[in-house]
Structure 1
């Protein structure tokens, strides 16, 4: 596999606006293949401020993937993905920018999360993966525990509870 030109770093509060936009746009553009418009709107409302992203990401171990060659007009790094790890080993949000799908961003982010989990002594990871994300997490070694319906802002969404045991080298 060729060298991936992207970088991963820890979340900083200034990242919150880009994360909110990335979350919304990725769901509406990528997850639209598996969910209807009403489900997408419930999951990622057009009001990007439905969630306090700075507090949410700051309360978890959050990594962001950046493109180190952003548009010179941008004052900040271009965020092309983000993933959250809770102290329990649960992976919260995990999204790659819709324009950077299938370019290794998800794998790079996942490797950072898994490394952090192992460093913290966690023995397993869990995630509620969307229909769209289930194949990615399966490639990362996760096993399906169960399909489940989650109620979100008036809509039912099918998700997949998945689990991975971590081995220490």
Structure 2
């Protein structure tokens, strides 16, 4: 089996790692990987050959792999070989570097106001169910009367048939 040749351009965007001179920034590097390499092995080989192994375990940076058109793609063994004129772009960025992290807090609501609102909502629901039960009992009574009339007619028809059969 042939090796895959994957070309990467490292863009070191992390402010914390800019002074780390062991990491090359901007150059295009070829990583040769056996074709049957697992995703985990591929990641290790890429990080090793790009001098990124010592920062992989730190949780202070994020690795973003982009295809030559700039779309984010996963770093996996499914990557196809490419050439140096169209390298994958591996960005090393700080966590939340491009966005501001905000604390999500629910606004403080007066507890009694909240409970009063919930009780009001429950009361409305109970009243609605009570009105529906009244309608259901009326509908049920009408339905029951119809069923009784139907059964009464059926019984009368059966009795008539029985009388007619006795006469024969």
TM-score by length of 2: 0.24
The answer to which structure has the higher strand fraction is 1
TM-score scaled to structure 1, two decimals?
Answer: 0.24
Between structures 1 and 2, the one with greater helix share: 2
